Amino acid sequence: MNTKFVTQIGVTALVAGLGAPAFAGPTYENASGGTFRFYGQFNLPINPLMTG
Amino acid sequence: MDSASSNSRIGFWLVQPFGENTLRFNFETALGLRSSDGVDQNGRPQNISWDRTRIRKIDLQYETARYGTFSFGQGAMASDGLAEEDLSGTGVVQTSSVADAAGGFRFRTSAGVLSNVTIGDAFASLDGGRLGRIRYDSPEVSGFTISASYGEDILSDNSDREAYDIAVRYGNDDLGDFAVRGALGVVWNENGPGTKTRDVVASFAVLHEPTGLSFAAAAGDRDTGGDYGYVKLGYSANLVPVGATSVAVDYYDGSDMVSAGDSSDSWGITAVQNFDQQNVEAYISYRDYSYADTTTTYLDGSSIFAGARWKF
């Protein structure tokens, strides 16, 4: 177990994310039932720290 | 840094009904942030590096009411996700793709020297991916769907990769107290002359809804060498008012992934806390990796992977 790979949590980003309000991507609809929806995600384990 | 298991992305859907049929267009791109499986002992890639290979989907789909769905363009092959059926609530960070957290790292030999064997090489899931493809998905019949696709790598320079596959999936969220998912498929890949492979991949997941206990399993076999089995036990409950809490343990056992006669073993433990109002999943995961081949002794490795995914 001498080789250890560690990825450190991005505490600042996590706390900031939890403080953010919920936000759903906007959806627009036309007269014939067509829709446009914007979406996305951020997945942020940050500040990698490696040893070994 | 970004998570290789579910990277940061943006996209949009255009959906237009035409009578009983529906035309859809989906564009989706990764943001190009440094991926967790791109980091190794020798350094890190750039913080942000976007090129066209980061495009995930430029996908035109025509869904018919009677004959299924026809898809054209860059997008998921029929085999994408075959190895990752999961009802544990921890799929954001823990799947049969156990190399996602630290796939770029190389094992050290017992002498302390970095080898050329990476975690990504030794712990493949043989899951499908995305290509420029044509794809067909049948209508669902009693929970079963059949899919097939043919694709080529249209985003990379000088790539000869092409693949075709066929898959069958089953899903039932109302099987008494249980929810069940299953997938089975075959993938033929070729990346230039003499590189043909055939992968058989399957996964299964079941959730006992009253208790929150879940079980998942996956397996894969490559005809030219390389096979693995994977099992996972999970528990999910509403322990705090902000959202569900899920924990899971898993185990991966692979053979012949890098060279004939080698073995790859990994176990992991994960906790995920949902924050429903914010659409956030916070996670922390520990994983241990062991590798052995017929000529060299290697040291075990381990990773701690923690972060959060926010969806909008």
CB within 8 Å: A34 and B15 = yes
List the domain boundaries for chain B.
9-310
Which tens digit of pLDDT belongs to each residue from B43-61? 777 788 899 999 999 999 9
The candidate with the shortest Cα–Cα distance to B86, out of B216, B250, B243, is B216
Range of the domain at A47: 4-51
pLDDT at residue A14, rounded to an integer: 40
- pLDDT tens digits, residue range B284-294? 999 999 999 99
Q: What is the pLDDT of residues B99-133, one digit of tens each?
A: 988 888 999 999 999 999 999 999 999 999 999 99
pLDDT value at residue B185: 98
* End-to-end CA, chain B: 19
The rounded distance, in Å, linking the Cα atoms of B16 and B20 is 11
What band does A23 get if pLDDT is binned at 50, 70 and 90?
low
Instruction: Answer yes or no: do A43 and B107 touch at CB < 8 A.
Output: no
Cβ atoms of B64 and B220 closer than 8 Å:
no
ipTM over 0.90: no
Exposure string over B243-264, b if 16+ CB within 10 A, otherwise e: bbbbbbbbebebbbbbeeebeb
Query: Min CA distance, B4 vs chain A (Å)?
Result: 9
Any residues with CB less than 8 A from the CB of B266 and at least 6 apart, and which? B98, B123, B251, B252, B287, B288, B289, B290
CB contact under 8 A, B278 and A35: no
Q: Of B2, B304, B312, which is closest to A6 when you measure between CB atoms?
A: B304
Cβ <8 Å between B299 and A6: no
| Residue B161 forms contact with A (CB below 8 Å) | no
SS3 B38: helix
Confidence of residue A24 (pLDDT cuts 50, 70, 90): low
Please determine, for residue B150, whether its predicted confidence score (pLDDT) is greater than 60: yes
- Domain total of chain A: 1
Entry pTM: 0.90
CATH code for residues B9-310: 2.40.160.10
Cβ-based contacts of B1 with chain A (< 8 Å): 7, 10, 44-48
Tell me the count of A-B CB pairs closer than 8 A: 146
Q: Does residue A50 surpass a pLDDT of 80?
A: no
C-alpha B200/C-alpha B136 separation (Å) is: 19
- Calpha distance B97→B36 (Å, rounded): 13
